[in-house]
Chains A and B, each alone.
Chain A
């Protein structure tokens, strides 16, 4: 995966680029808005990480210009501005995701990877399959092996999101955002409890666990060990 980091803070940019490279992605850096825009327009990137406050041209204006020029590369907006309004402004300008500084790298990586996947044309598949776990999006039925797994509506949506991102780390905030549509950070680990309930239904009575916890990052649904 090829990522463009548009960030004026040199240390932050190189930290981000190194970390992304360590995770197996290739990474370019642009240090101001103009450079970022011309790079993004001239070369194909899988994901753009765009800081909101940039010299020469601010992040949102770069984003608007990109979209005007029919460039639809997924963009993760990074910002120190973290209120609901700032987020809405970022998404309205054409951003696909919004992350407030300071962030945990694991959070950023999970989101960037999710964005890159989203870019590949949404497989119109009506079924998600991970190992012997099958989720039928038409009938809303979930089966493991031959057994039917009865789920509450919210558990179904939680599993659906995990399966859509199967093989990739999904963070707690991503789950809260996509399954519950909230962007705040609850103090108690509400998500963990929901996960453990889901786990009790899909994993508990089976030999091979599919839903794994990634320490310090989140969860991953995959067939096989982490």
Chain B
């Protein structure tokens, strides 16, 4: 019963009831109107016919007297049809006609009146409905002229009952249909409710089931599912951050603490030189921690606000050229040639600082990992090379940083973009392990992508950013 109650409480049911009510009212009004108009027309025609007959019979009486009228009535009474006649003398005695008697109040009625009369039909008496007017003749006798309207009444009856039955049918179908539709909708909504409830309870892996018929519910469910996936990613991100903090921040913090403790345990030498050294290292480690922390916060904030790319238009070519100029000496010192290859006048809308930082991070990596290959120094015969390229293609600006370092195995390429992932081979290198994650987050808020590919040999990192449409058309 509660199930039925629930069904009747649904919006779908209420809506279908509302529509049913409207439809039934309109149908009832229309049927009633048509019935009444038809009835009125028939009644009027009947009254008109009676009046006509009254006149002609009255004329008959005046010209041929009672005898002539009697004869005429007898003739007309025999004719098939629904006409009714009763000719009676002043005392009410039967003189002729196919009506035997009528009630007294009808006898004295001034205008047309309705009544039941009894007739013998196929050996059975039946009461039939009729309408008649009484004509007072000059000699005091009266002539009743009427019409059998039993068929008309019967028709009305039938219309009424047909109407009621139809209404009952509509009511049943409407109710049933309403319940059925609400049940269908309720099942869909319930499955969504149930899914969201289990998600609220903590099971983020749940998804709203699709029926596959691509209706509005499927579309709603699809976008809800996409939203859930995004939320899931964000939460996983947060979870990852806290795991990262636990691992990559606690460990160095612990190291830092140990060092200070160790320094405190030491016997003071005359100048406190050891203290100084320990403190110096402590500061350096603290700085590294701060850097890591900053990078983590930046990534988290970028990822949380990934939806909006607010920013201003700036010349990307200048930024890339500046970065090439900024990094060129460092690269050269490591025996690497940094080759800029920059398309002119590429401008994008975005955050200049963030793009610069992302590219700087990738360049940092490229230099860091290209360097060991040519540790022999700048005098080495073959120089390592890093290309920093900016290319504009339709709708996109591609910043490509390609090196000839050891590269990253294909299987690891997706992984290294994640926070703190540093391949075992690079654990010894300084750095937070967040550079590529930050670059990827920056790419995302610029509606762009960060892709790692093989430079054969080496690594090619492509940061692709969208160029606003109107700008692309202006610059071409």
Contact = CB atoms under 8 A, between A and B. Distances in A.
Given A184-B360, A186-B360, A197 B322 contact: no
A154 interface: yes
Interface string A191-226: 001101100000000000000000010000000000
B54 interface: no
A12 interface: no
A38 B354 CA distance: 38
A82 B291 CA distance: 12
Contacts of A183: 353
Contacts of B298: 83
Interface residues of A, number: 22
Contacts of B286: 102
A183 B351 CA distance: 12
Contact of B364 (A83, A104, A186, A194): A186
Interface stretch (B69-77, B208-216, B324-332, B451-459): B324-332
B44 interface: no
B88 interface: no
Interface string A76-93: 000000111000000000
Contacts of B322: 180
- Size bracket of the B interface: 20 to 34
B300 to A, nearest CB: 11
B329 A194 contact: yes
Interface string B274-295: 0000001001001100110010
Contact of A82 (B297, B325, B368): B297
Nearest to A154: B325
B329 A197 contact: yes
Contact of B431 (A187, A194, A216): A187
Nearest to B294: A82
**Chain A binding surface, main DSSP class:** loop
Interface string A161-197: 0000000000000000000101111111110011011
Contacts of A194: 326, 329
Interface string B323-362: 0011101101100000000000000000101101100110
A177 to B, nearest CB: 11
B327 A187 contact: no
Given A102-B290, A180-B322, A188 B330 contact: yes
B111 interface: no
Contacts of B294: 82, 100, 185
B356 A182 contact: yes
A193 B353 contact: no
B444 to A, nearest CB: 16
B367 A185 contact: no
B319 to A, nearest CB: 9
A9 to B, nearest CB: 17
Given A184-B356, A185-B291, A187-B430, A83 B301 contact: yes
Contacts of B368: 187-188
B435 interface: yes
Given A180-B322, A197-B329, A84 B367 contact: no
Interface of B: 280, 283, 286-287, 290-291, 294, 297-298, 301, 322, 325-327, 329-330, 332-333, 351, 353-354, 356-357, 360-361, 364, 367-368, 430-432, 435
In the A-B complex, list the 9 residue pairs whose CB atoms are closest, starting with the nearest: A193-B329, A184-B357, A187-B364, A84-B353, A193-B330, A190-B330, A188-B364, A188-B330, A186-B360
Interface of A: 82-84, 100, 102, 104, 154, 180, 182-190, 193-194, 196-197, 216
